[in-house]
Amino acid sequence: MKVLLGVSGSIAAYRAADLARELMRAGHEVRVCLTDGAAQFVTPLLFETLTGQPVLSGAFEEPIAGRMAHIDWARWADVIVVAPATANTLVRLGLGFAEDMLTTVVLASSAPLVVAPAMNPSMYAADVVAFARERLAARATIVLEPQEGDVVAGEHGPGKLAPIAEIVAAVQSLDVRRNRLAGKHVLITSGPTVESIDDVRFLSNRSSGKMGAALARAALLMGARVTVVAGPQSAVLPLAATVIPVHTALEMLAAAQGATQPDVIIGAAAVADYRPLTRQEGKIRRDVGNISLQLTPNPDVIASLAATFPGAQTVAFAAEPGPDVATARAKMARKGVFAVAVNDISRSDIGFGADDNALQLLFASGGQAESGVRTKLACGIWLLEQLTP
Ligand SMILES: Cc1cc2nc3c(=O)[nH]c(=O)nc-3n(C[C@H](O)[C@H](O)[C@H](O)COP(=O)(O)O)c2cc1C
């Protein structure tokens, strides 16, 4: 792969030289872009000599006269790795600044981004850094968490650059994955549905849409075309996906059925089983005393999609309040899906709203596989790797 290695002004900048060499050893072509901060620690000459390629740094540099380097390099890169990423560079990347060469190239590129932060633990804990990391999650960004340990200035905590081998492994895994779903269409339902009671109130659920957003990013990383039919969710969906916003289960079903033929369908949405039989106009007032709400069942969205698109591999998500395989298997048979991904919502460290998840994938053919606890993005990649459309 063509790897653009961005280096920023951390004390760990010297380790980028080893990283460049290891990436080349793994068979990748490497070009380096330095921030002004990085150039205080390491020189362009070092990387030019190591890689045999020109090194970019200034925002207005043009190694080939008349060719805008930021566009040229953005198009060239199959993947961009920013390592080490300073707090400053991380925040600028997260907010979409483009006032130096590195951030401009990243903004101009649609290549997957791998970011390996290195900074003082207090800087890493700063609100604005956390905010930037969340923003980066909206792109197909892999953030390799800094390691815990003793950092310069006598502090201890998460701040050390991830091991070089881990950064190289992230690039390698992107290489393996990137063509895995090339030419395939992945349709994902995500987030909660909302079912109106009157013009003001609705019935909904606790789904954050994080799993759906992670699945969308995972499928994009693996080269798929992605459509997400999303209820009003808080998690940010990747820009490269086609997003169809909906509110109710009926809208979700209609929108998903209207999608072009998918190869894979994943039902990560938490669809309301019931909706109010009637929607009251205006606002129900308190002065009417006790009221009862009559509910009517919604259609089973994922079962209907499996029937609409029999050629696709359809995976239903089953949120179970405990490790209940028998109920999930019965659900799978009822829904007529290819597989069901069970997640245990009784655990607070995984599932609803959490950043991590653990999936148990049961196949209609009888097999099963377990992901173990991973980030939702890693779970998404794992799940898609279990399918062979
Ligand atoms: C000796 C020294 C070491 C530094 N190490 C780090 C670091 O590890 N991480 C970090 O976020 N900032 C570090 N900084 C601060 C950055 O260099 C500074 O915020 C700079 O503006 C970053 O610019 P850049 O992100 O464009 O490279 C360090 C500064 C100095 C003087």
- Please report, for the chain, the start and end positions of each structural domain, with discontinuous segments joined by +: 2-177, 185-386
Encoded tokens for 122: 């207090």
Encoded tokens for 296: 């009517």
327-386 pLDDT per residue, tens: 899 999 999 999 999 988 777 777 667 778 899 999 999 999 999 888 788 889 899 999
Contact 241, 268 (CB under 8 A): no
For range 241-264, the mean pLDDT:
97
Task: Answer yes or no: is the C-beta of 298 below 6 A from any ligand 1 atom.
Answer: no
CATH topology for 2-177 is Rossmann fold (3.40.50)
| Alpha carbon distance 269, 210 (integer Å) | 10
| Alpha carbon distance 146, 148 (integer Å) | 7
In this predicted structure, the answer to whether residue 183 has a pLDDT above a threshold of 70 is yes
Name which residue sits closest to atom 19 of ligand 1, judged by CA: 88
In this predicted structure, the answer to whether residue 135 has a pLDDT above a threshold of 90 is no
Band the pLDDT of 128: cuts 50, 70, 90: very high
For range 43-49, the mean pLDDT:
97
For range 64-91, the mean pLDDT:
92
In this predicted structure, the answer to whether residue 319 has a pLDDT above a threshold of 90 is no
Task: Answer yes or no: is the C-beta of 11 below 6 A from any ligand 1 atom.
Answer: yes
In this predicted structure, the answer to whether residue 138 has a pLDDT above a threshold of 70 is no
Phi, psi for residue 185 in degrees, rounded to 5: -110, 120
Most confident range (mean pLDDT) of 199-203, 205-209, 319-323 is 199-203
* Ligand 1 center to 354 CA (angstroms): 31
Band the pLDDT of 69: cuts 50, 70, 90: confident
Q: The pTM is what? A: 0.69
Task: Answer yes or no: is the C-beta of 6 below 6 A from any ligand 1 atom.
Answer: no
In this predicted structure, the answer to whether residue 311 has a pLDDT above a threshold of 80 is yes
* Ligand 1 center to 82 CA (angstroms): 14
Spell out the long-range contacts of 327-330 with Cβ–Cβ below 8 A and sequence spacing 24 or more. 328/360, 328/362, 329/362
Band the pLDDT of 250: cuts 50, 70, 90: very high
In the block, residue with structure tokens 């895994």: 173
The DSSP call for residue 237 is: P
pLDDT for res 389? 63
Same CATH topology for 2-177 and 185-386: the answer is yes
pLDDT for res 279? 94
Helix axes 301-308, 249-257, angle to 10 degrees: 20
Q: What is the chain's mean pLDDT, rounded?
A: 91
Band the pLDDT of 304: cuts 50, 70, 90: very high
Band the pLDDT of 172: cuts 50, 70, 90: confident
101-116 pLDDT per residue, tens: 999 999 999 888 999 9
Band the pLDDT of 154: cuts 50, 70, 90: confident
Distances (CA, A) of 164 to 5, 170, 221, 320: 13, 10, 21, 39
CATH topology for 185-386 is Rossmann fold (3.40.50)
| Alpha carbon distance 196, 6 (integer Å) | 49
Name the residue of 7, 34, 86, 151 whose CB sits within 8 Å of the most ligand 1 atoms, as the mutation to test its pocket.
86
Task: Answer yes or no: is the C-beta of 33 below 6 A from any ligand 1 atom.
Answer: no
Q: Which atom of ligand 1 is nearest to the CA of 100?
A: 26
Name the residue of 8, 10, 57 whose CB sits within 8 Å of the most ligand 1 atoms, as the mutation to test its pocket.
10
pLDDT for res 357? 87
The DSSP call for residue 13 is: G
Residue 298 is a catalytic residue = no
User: Which of the residues 88, 120, 179, 205 is marked catalytic?
Assistant: 205
Least-confidence region, from 14-23, 94-103, 144-153, 285-294: 144-153
For range 82-95, the mean pLDDT:
97
Contact 361, 383 (CB under 8 A): yes
Q: Which atom of ligand 1 is nearest to the CA of 151?
A: 8
Comparison of pLDDT for 303 and 214, the residue scoring more: 303
